[in-house]
Structure 1
Amino acid sequence: MRGILYVGHGSRVEEGNRELRTFIEKAKQQFSEVPIQEIGFIELTSPTIVEAITNCVEQGATEIAVVPVLLLTAQHAKEDIPEEVEKAKEMYPHVRFAYGRPFGIESAIIDLVKKRTEQAGLKKVNGRPNMEEREAATLVVVGRGSSDPDQTSDLFKITRLVWEYTPVTDIEVCFIAATHPTVDEGLMKAARLASDTIYVIPYILFTGVLMNGLQKQLTELNQQTDKTFILGDYLGFDDQLIHVLAKRTKEVLDKLE
């Protein structure tokens, strides 16, 4: 019997965990023919990955598609999840496993970042704007950060693609942890540019302590500078991301054929 295990990061903020579960419940509907579908977390909450795999096996799963619900490829996707799957293989040698890949660089996500910027107040344009259509505004995309160069380089590429379709004059990328430019460095650089309006979009899936910290920083900058910093929403459980997750899930299920 086939099962799907969706693996999320996990958050100290329970609202973020609830958002992930709601997102996955919606995604499950895309694969109603698969009788066993469970959720596991890398850290900070339960069930763990091994516990979730056990839940699948106890329901009768003999084939499990493991799908990372992560935006970018880094240590969690390359090492942490596979290590837990290896532990499960030793516990359940009769079970076949297939492992998928994070969301990565997808046009639907590029569109979603643009959509979040429009919701924050940027004018809407269709297609790729020319320079005359661009607002005198800066967009700062904030990633979680990683020491893994693949993760950081992917976000730089995504950010460039966002600029191609989003009518701002400048775009910057920065990271909350583990690498440079840091959030402070990215925001300060944006403040030195000519644009008076700076949109900040968190490149994260769900809410958590990171959102609280960003809001505090931008409130302080709005008080300390003559620039206007506007915090947009995180990516969240948007239908566009459901489609990306469904695509990644099908890729893993195909490996079990």
Structure 2
Amino acid sequence: MKTAILYVGHGSRVEAGNQELLSFIEKTKTQFPDIPIQETGFIELTSPTIVEAVRACVDQGATHIAVVPVLLLTAQHAKEDIPEEIEKAQKQFPHVHFAYGKPFGIEPTIIDLIKQRVEEAGLKSVNHRPAFEEREEVTLVLVGRGSSDPEQTSDLFKIARLAWEQTPIKDVEVCFIAATHPTIDEGLEKAARLKADTIYVIPYLLFTGVLMKGLEKQLAELNQRSDKIFILGDYLGFDDHLIEVLKKRTVEVLAKLG
């Protein structure tokens, strides 16, 4: 038995986003020094593909491959696209055993990271769960990638509520870049109707790309024609704190291989 780890990222048209992922995974690889075969594949938009990355593992002698999705939430990519590619690889390499893991999901580390991003954008920092009287008259808008999968959208609403519990804000809203409602326009319009004059917008994204660039432009236009102040915070990114989350998910799927 020779085990390999295959990390699977989404892929981006913007090469900087792909490099962010690769750099993050290089750091994660050091958490598993006893597993020399560790490769990365992408779902779309760049290479290597998942099947190509599987082949790279097999060429190095792998007989058991732990496939770990480097994705924030469970949606079509995690439920359908990656399993379909694993099935293709299984047909090409019938002697290889595969085990498949879970996306990051809802983790305390991620809630802490959202809190950190809002504080970096200008919100006052607190080291405790704020009482209602301590909450500032500001709104937080979390912007997700979007999916037709209800599990993905409901998870982001739960994450938004958990973020509200940890930050001194009055309101939190959720909207999506594509595939579902509320859209970005709908979410920002709703936030603008609330009492708060300051609205922090945090992209719930792992990497930079065309989605992030479009959001920057949209908020710049809003600030020119609105009496509200829209402040765009940094996207989650491949923050070093997330290495522990990815390590946890990798350990889980390695256990399935025995």
Q: Fold match, TM over 0.5?
A: yes
- Paired with 1:198 and 1:33, the residues of 2 have a C-alpha distance of 47
Amino acid at match of 1:166: T
> Which residue number in structure 2 is paired with residue 156 of structure 1?
157
Give the corresponding residue for 2:119: 118
Separation of aligned partners in 2, 1:192 and 1:217: 17
**Matches of 1:29 and 1:8, distance apart in 2:** 18
In the TM superposition, residue 161 of structure 1 has moved relative to its aligned partner by: 0.5
Normalized against structure 1, the TM-score is what? Answer: 0.99
Superposed CA deviations along residues 48-99 of structure 1, whole A, max 9, x for unmatched, are: 0000000000011011000000000000000000000001111111111000
Amino acid at match of 1:85: I
Mapped pair 1:201 → 2:181: no
Instruction: Note the 1:149-188 alignment, pairs <5 A.
Output: 149-188=150-189
* Contact 2:136–2:168 (Cα < 8 Å) also in 1: yes
Q: Which residue of 2 aligns with 1:136?
A: 137
Report the secondary structure of 1:138's partner residue.
Answer: strand
Three-state SS of the structure 2 residue aligned to 1:67 is strand
Q: What amino acid is the match of 1:65?
A: A
Q: CA deviation at 1:21?
A: 0.3
The one-letter amino acid paired with 1:20 is: L
Offset, 1:32: 1.1
User: Is contact 2:20–2:238 with CA below 8 Å preserved after alignment?
Assistant: yes
Instruction: Look up the equivalent residue of 1:22 and give its one-letter code.
Output: S
Letter of the aligned partner of 1:159 in structure 2? Answer: A
Question: Could you tell me which amino acid in structure 2 is paired with residue 123 of structure 1?
Answer: K
Residue 184 of structure 2 aligns with an amino acid whose one-letter code is V
Q: Secondary structure at the match of 1:104?
A: coil
Report the 3-state secondary structure (helix = DSSP H, G, I; strand = E; otherwise coil) of the residue aligned with 2:181. Answer: coil
TM-score by length of 2: 0.99
How big is the shift at 1:153? 0.4
Alpha-carbon distance in 1 for matches of 2:197, 2:33 = 49
Alpha-carbon distance, 1:42 to partner: 0.2
Between Structure 1 and Structure 2, how many residues are aligned?
Answer: 257
Query: Contact between 2:4 and 2:37, CA under 8 Å: does it hold in 1?
Result: yes
Number of the residue aligned with 2:25: 24
Question: Which stretches in structure 1 are left out of the alignment for 5+ residues?
Answer: none
Query: Displacement of 1:134 after TM fit?
Result: 1.1
**Which one-letter code corresponds to 1:172 in the other structure?**
E
Partner SS state of residue 251, structure 2: helix
> Aligned partners of 2:41 and 2:8: how far apart in 1?
5
The amino acid of 2:235's aligned partner reads Y
State the alpha-carbon separation in 1 of the partners of residues 5 and 57 from structure 2: 8
- State how far apart, in whole Å, the 1-side matches of 2:182 and 2:116 are: 24
Q: Specify the alignment match of 1:213 in structure 2.
A: 214
CA distance in 1, matches of 2:243, 2:167: 22
CA displacement, residues 85-123 of structure 1 (integer Å, 9 cap, x when unaligned): 001111111111000000001011011001000000000
Unaligned runs of 5+ in 2: none
Secondary structure of the 1:31 match is coil
Mapped partners of 1:170, 1:194: distance in 2: 9
* Contact persistence 2:24–2:240 (CA under 8 A): no
Task: Please give the root-mean-square deviation of Cα atoms over the aligned residues, in Å.
Answer: 0.6
Aligned to 2:257: 256
Residues 141-193 of structure 1, C-alpha deviation per residue, up to 9 Å, x if partnerless?
A: 00000000000000011111100001110000000000000000000100111
Identify the residue that residue 228 of structure 1 maps to in structure 2.
229
Of 231-240 and 200-209, deviating more is 231-240
Moved over 4 A (4+): none
Residue in 2 aligned with 1:51?
A: 52
TM superposition shift of 1:237: 1.6
Q: Report the CA distance between 1:126 and its aligned residue.
A: 1.1
Alignment partners' CA distance in 1, 2:240 and 2:18? 18
